[in-house]
Structure 1
Amino acid sequence: MKLSRAQLSWILYDMANAAFALIVRTVFAPIFFKNYAAENLAPAVATSYWGFVSSAAGIAAGILAPWLGTIADANSGRKKYLGIFMSAGILATVALCFARRGDASLVLWLYFISLVAYMGGNSFYDSLLVDVSSRGGFHRLSSMAYAWGYIGGMIPFLLCLGLLMIVGSDSIFGVKCSFVIAAAWWGTLAWPLFRNVREKPRASQRINPLDGFRRLIATAREIGNYRNVVIFLAAYFLYIDGVGTIFMMAAPLSQDIGIPPGWLFGTILALQFLGFPFTILYGRLARRIPARKLVYLAIGIYVLITLIVGIIPSLGSADAKLAAFLIAAFLIGTSQGGIQSLSRSLFSELIPRERASEFFGFYNIFGKFTTVLGPILIGVAVWLFGRSEYGITLLAVPFLAGAWLLSRVAVPSERRS
C-alpha cells in the first residue's frame, strides 16, 4: 500500500500523541503526583483523587468533543479544533514542570486539562480518517496508525529511561524533563498533519457555538435512526470497556499477584514491541478477511486472557504465577492494537462522511472515555471472593455480549463483497 503525504502525516499524529499516553498518563504523571505533589496526602486519598480527576476529564471530553464536533463538521474545522486541543495539552504538560513539592491541586488541574485535551483532540484526529482515505482503505490505514503509535510511544519513553539512568531513577528533575520530552515529541510529529492533510470540501453551513449545541441535541435524538451505528456503539462499549479495564488494572493487579516491579516495567516495554507487528498484521489480514471476523478473533483472545488471569490465584508457586502473567501480557500485545484500530475503521464505514467529527465524538464517549463495567466487576469480585483477579474473569461476559451485538451490525463492505 503506497501512502500519500497526507496519509503519512495522519499516521505521524498517532505517533505524536502516543508520547503523552505512555510517558505522561500511564507512567510518570501518577508517580509525580503521588511521590512529589501529593506527599502530604495519605496514599489511598491521593489515589482516589487521581481516579476522580481522570474520570472527570473523561466526562468533560465526552461533552466537549461531540458538541465541538458538530461545529467542526459544519465549518470544515476539524484540524482547527484538533490544533486547539493539542496546544492546550502540550502547554498543560509542560506546565507540570513548574509544580513544586506539595502542589497537589495544581498538578490535578494541569493533568485534568492535559487529559481533556488529549482525549478530545483524538475525536477530531479520528474523524480525519475519512478525509485521508477512501472507504476501502480504512482498515489498513487505521491499523498502520495504531501500529506506528506503539513505536511513537516507545522511542521517547526510552529516551526518558536513559535520562533517568543518568540523573537517578528517583529524580524529580528527570521526571519533569520527561514531561518536556513528551510535549516536544507531541508537537513536533503533529506538525506535518496540519501542513499536509486537507479536509475534503463540504457544503458550507457556518454555525455558532449555540447552534452547535442545538445540533448536538438534535443528533442525539436522531442517532436512533442510524440503527447500525447504535448497535455498533453498544457492542463497542461492552468489549472495549474490557480492553481498557485490563490495561488500566495491569499495575495494581500485578501487585496483588506478587509480580516484581522490574518484570512489570519490562512487560510494558515488551507490549510496545509486540503491538507494532501484530497491529500491522491485523490490518493486512483485513484485506482478505472481513474486519468484523478479526474483531471476533481479538475478542476471543481477550476472553482467553480473562480465564488465564482467573486461574492465577490457584497456582501454587510464584514462578507459575509469573509465567501465567507473562502469557496473558503476550496475548494482550497480540490483539490490543488490532481490536482498537479495526473498531475505528469499522465505525468509519457506518457513519456519514460529512458528519464524521460529530459521530466520532459519540464513538469516543462510548469507548475511550469510559471504563465503567470492568471496575464494577472487579469491585464485586473483591467483595464476594476477596480476589481482584476474579473480576477480570467476569469480564468475559461483556466481551461475549459485545461480540453478539457486533454480529447484528450490517457492515457496508461485507454487503458489497
Structure 2
Amino acid sequence: MGTDVSGPATAGATDSAADRRREQRGWYFYDWAVSVYSTTVLTLFLGPYLTSIAKAAADTEGLVHPLGIPVRAGSFFAYSVSASLLLAVVAMPLVSAIADRTGRKKPLLAAAAYIGAGATTGMFFLGGDRYLLGGALLIVANASLAVSMALYNAFLPQIAEPDERDAVSSRGWAFGYAAATLVLIANLALYLGHESFGVSEGTAVRICLAAAGLWWGAFAVVPLRRLRDRRPPGNDVTSQDGAAGPGSPVPHLGGWRQLVATLRDMRRHPLTLAFLLAYLVYNDGVQTVITQASVYGSEELGLEQSTLIAAVLLVQVQVLALVGALSMGRLARRYGAKRTILWSLAAWTLTIGAGYFLPAGAPVWFFVLTGAIGVVLGGTQALSRSLFSHLVPRGKEAEYFSAYELSDRGTSWLGPLLFGLTYQLTGSYRDAIISLVLFFAVGFVLLARVPMRRAVAAAGNPVPDRI
C-alpha cells in the first residue's frame, strides 16, 4: 500500500479544490472495494450457504450446538451476524479514539481492511459441516468491515466542504453499487455455468466468496494512497467534561469504556445524539433486510440460488440503487436531506410489509420486492451519512463516526437477533421478516422530531442552505 510522503496535514487548514477532488476520488474507491463484500457475501451467498452447512451438521431435531448452546440451524447465520456486530461494538470506539488522538486514520484503516479481506478470502475453505469455521470467519470479517467503515466515514468532513457532502457521499455509494453490479455479473456467469468451468456448485459459491475478499484487499490500496492523515487540532489535554483530549496519550480503555466516554462527550450535543438514536433504529431494519433477504428467499419462498442472483442483478437492484443514490442526492439538494430520508423510510415500511405476503415459488414478485428495495437503499444510506457529517464537532470526526458506525453496523445486531429469535420461536421466516417493519416506523417518528438546522449550529458547523 502507498504512504503519504507529504505527512499529515493540519486539520482545519484550507485545502485547494484540486486537492479535495483528488482525495474524494480516492475515497470513493473504498466504497468500490467493500460493497462487493456486502453484496456477494452478506446479501447473496453466505446466508443460504452457511445455513445449508449448519443444517448438514444439525442433529435429528435440526439443532446445532455452538459452544454447547442449542440453536436452530436456520437461525445460525443471523446469530453469527449479531455476534460479529457485538464484537464491533467493543472494537470501534477504542480504535476511533486512537485515530482522533493521533490523527493516524490510514494505518488503522489499512489494518481493519486487510484483516477483513483475509477472513473473507478464507471462506473458500468452507464446506462439509464446517459451520463453526464459517461463523468465525463471518464474525471477523464483519467486525473488521464495521471498524474500517467508521474510519473511512470519518474522512468525509475532512475532504468535503459542507455543501459538497451530500453529493460526495452519494457518489461514494454509487461507486459501491457500480462495483457490486460488475462482480455480480461475474458471479452469475460462474454460478450458472459452473459445470462448464469444471467446478461443483458449492465450489462456485466458495470462489465467489473468496473473490470478494480479494477484491476488497486489491482496491483498498487506492484510498490508502490518496487519503491524507491530518494532525488533530489543538494540544489540549482534557476536554470540557474531563475526558482525554486530542493531544493526550491514548488511554488504555476497553471498547465499552471508550464508548461511554464518547457518549458522555455527546451529551454536550443532545441533538446529534437524537439523530443517532433515530438512525440506530431505522438503519437496524435496513441492515437486517440486507443480510437476511437471501435467507428469506431461499428458505421461505423456495427460490434457487440462481434466482436470487437474478433478482439482484437482472432486475438491476444494483443499478437501481446507484440511480436511487444519485436521484435522492438531487432530491436532497432541492428538498433537504432529512425530508428525503423520511420519504424513503415510508417506502421501506410499505415494501417490507408487502414482503410478508409474497407467494412461495413465485420469483417475479421477489423481483418486484428487491427492485423496490434497490430504489431506496442507496439514497437512505448515503444521505444519512452526509447528514450526520454536519453534526460532528471539529476534531471529533473518527470518535463520532465510531458512534455513527455503531448505529450503522455495530448496534445492528438487534435486527438479526430479533429475526433469528422470531424464527427460533415460530419456525416462520414470514413472521421474522414482518417484525422488521417496527424499526422503520419508529425510526421515522424519531427522525421527524430532530430539528436539523439547530442541530448543525449546536455542533459549531455552518448550516447549509438546505438540510
TM-score normalised over the length of structure 2: 0.78
Aligned partner of 1:194 among 204, 220, 224? 224
Which of residues 79, 88, 91 in structure 2 aligns to 1:61? 88
- Pairing 1:155–2:182 present: yes
Q: Alpha carbons of 1:52 and 1:286: their partners in 2 closer, same or farther (altered >3 Å)?
A: same
Q: CA deviation at 1:224?
A: 2.2
Alpha-carbon distance, 1:86 to partner? 0.7
Q: What are the superposed Cα offsets for residues 5-64 of structure 1, whole Å, 9 maximum, x if unpaired?
A: 211111111010112222233333345545568743356534444333321110111211
Alignment of 1:276-287 (within 5 A): 276-287=322-333
Q: Distance in 1 between matches of 2:158 and 2:265?
A: 24
Q: Distance in 2 between matches of 1:140 and 1:149?
A: 14
Q: Is residue 221 of structure 1 aligned with residue 221 of structure 2?
A: no
One-letter amino acid matched to 2:226 = N
Determine whether 1:250 maps to 2:293.
yes
- Look up the match of 2:213: 183
1-side partners of 2:88 and 2:418: how far apart?
22
Asked whether the 8 Å contact 1:70–1:215 carries over to 2, the reply is yes
Superposed, 1:15-414 pairs within 5 Å as 15-30=32-47, 32-35=49-52, 39-42=56-59, 44-45=63-64, 46-98=73-125, 101-164=128-191, 165=193, 166-167=196-197, 170-203=200-233, 205=247, 207-210=249-252, 216-254=259-297, 255-259=299-303, 261-269=305-313, 270-312=316-358, 324-369=365-410, 370-373=412-415, 376=418, 388-389=429-430, 392-393=433-434, 395-412=436-453
Q: Does residue 7 of the first structure (1) align with residue 24 of the second (2)?
A: yes
Paired with 1:176 and 1:323, the residues of 2 have a C-alpha distance of 27
CA shift, 1:324, in A, is 4.4
For residue 367 of structure 1, give the secondary structure of its aligned residue in structure 2: helix
Asked if structure 2 preserves the Cα contact closer than 8 Å seen for 1:374 and 1:392, the reply is no
- Residue pair 1:61, 1:120 contacting (<8 A) in 2 also: yes
* Native 8 Å contact 1:310 1:389 kept in 2: yes
Structure 2 letter corresponding to 1:210: H
Task: Give the AA of the match of 1:115.
Answer: N
Aligned alpha-carbon RMSD (Å): 3.2
Question: Structure 1 residues 199 and 131 mapped into 2: Cα distance closer, same or farther (>3 Å)?
Answer: farther
CA distance in 1 between partners of 2:419 and 2:49 (Å): 29
- TM-superposed CA distance for 1:130, in Å, is 1.4
Alpha-carbon distance in structure 1 between the residues aligned to 2:135 and 2:408: 23
Once the two structures are superposed, what CA deviation does each residue of 1:325-357 show, in whole Å capped at 9, x if it has no partner?
A: 433322111101111111111111111131111
Choose between structure 1 and 2: higher helix proportion. Answer: 1
Shift of 1:148: 1.6
> Which range moved further: 279-288 or 196-205?
196-205
User: Aligned partners of 1:74, 1:227: CA distance in 2, in Å?
Assistant: 23
Q: Secondary structure at the match of 1:277?
A: helix
Q: Is the 8 A contact 1:28 1:175 kept in 2?
A: yes
Q: Compared with structure 1, are the counterparts of its residues 242 and 154 closer, same or farther at alpha carbon in structure 2 (3 Å cutoff)? A: same
TM-fit CA distance, 1:74 = 0.8
Stretch of structure 1 that moved more, 85-94 or 8-17: 85-94
Deviations 1:230-277 (A, max 9, x none): 111111122112222333332343343455654433112231121111
Q: Which amino acid aligns with 1:54?
A: V
Return the alpha-carbon distance in structure 2 between the equivalents of residues 245 and 94 of structure 1.
Answer: 23
Name the CA shift for 1:308/1:35 in 2 (closer, same or farther; >3 Å).
closer
Letter in 2 for 1:337: G
Q: Which runs of 5+ in 2 are unaligned?
A: 1-16, 65-72, 236-246, 458-462
For the residues of structure 1 that align with 2:292 and 2:254, how far apart are their CA atoms? 37
Secondary structure of 1:210's aligned partner: coil
Matched residues in 2 for 1:88 and 1:125: separation? 15
Measured in 2, the distance between the counterparts of 1:19 and 1:311 equals 30
Structure 1: 5+ residue runs without aligned partners? none
**Residue 115 of structure 1, CA deviation:** 1.8
Task: Tell me the matched-pair count.
Answer: 411
